[in-house]
Amino acid sequence: MITRFDLDELVRLAQNADAVVSVECGVGETLVEDAVLLRVYGAGRKLPEQALTRAIHLATSRSIEQDPKYSIRLLVDIAIRALSPAVNDPTTAVQALDQIEDLLRRLGRRQLDAGYARDSDGTIRVTFPVPTWRDYLALSFDEIRQYGATSIQVGRRLRAALVGLSGTIAVGDRRAAVQEYLDHLNLGIGRSSFDDQDRAAALQEDRQGLGLSRRPTASESLPIEPQKVHSVPES
């Protein structure tokens, strides 16, 4: 399994040969026999394969060093395991969503889709596959939404996470992707087997799942932009 790329070494090898190295496998992928690891373009001479392959680090399990998806994957696994009929623990799924939302808020402020490395002259020398913002959303929410489709508690916490992300993500296309997920959640609740009262409850946002519904307050109708005091991440 690929755990990380030595990008500095790949850039050095490509620059020395005036080439571009395209990494074909992503971090976190399991290698199968005869899989293409790299493609080299524009080289005046053949690059040493042993040196190229040494720059791709393998292990028997994933790590979070260059694979932020792995942290989310672990949290999602906890959530869907808790939502299985054998466990039936939606509160644990809600707690996993607390951490998933926090990770997504941090990721939403970062450049995610670069997928390239440059040499000292600014020339692109290495390209590699990276997850998009939509990939992160799908990983974070799809399975929890599906496994938690009959849980009002999970639906409310999912809604709170999506509404929170929509309000904090500044990049327009990322915010639009979050809104699409919120619309999808609404559609699923509308088609659910809930009765009218449960459906209305599921359509509320609640960061605790069940316990503190988010309703508009009188101050929200004031035409004055309020001062916002944000939480400070722990160091």
pLDDT in tens, 161-175: 999 999 888 888 999
pLDDT tens, position by position, 48-98:
999 999 999 988 888 776 787 899 999 999 999 999 999 999 999 999 999
The pLDDT, as a whole number, for residue 228 is: 62
What is the number of domains present in the chain? 2
Beta bridge partners of 38: 23
The pLDDT, as a whole number, for residue 209 is: 84
Domain hosting 105: range is: 68-112+131-212
The pLDDT, as a whole number, for residue 227 is: 59
Whether 101 and 207 map to the same domain: the answer is yes
The pLDDT, as a whole number, for residue 221 is: 47
The pLDDT, as a whole number, for residue 205 is: 86
Of 34, 50, 66, the position where a domain reaches its end is: 66
Whether 48 and 145 map to the same domain: the answer is no
Whether 81 and 197 map to the same domain: the answer is yes
Whether 106 and 195 map to the same domain: the answer is yes
Quick one: which of 163, 141, 138, 140 has its CA closest to 213? 163
Which tokens in the block code for residue 235? 């160091």
Quick one: which of 164, 152, 144, 228 has its CA closest to 197? 152
Whether 78 and 169 map to the same domain: the answer is yes
Domain for residue 154, yes or no? yes
Whether 45 and 105 map to the same domain: the answer is no
Under-50 pLDDT residues of the chain: 216-221
The pLDDT, as a whole number, for residue 60 is: 82
Whether 142 and 93 map to the same domain: the answer is yes
Whether 155 and 179 map to the same domain: the answer is yes
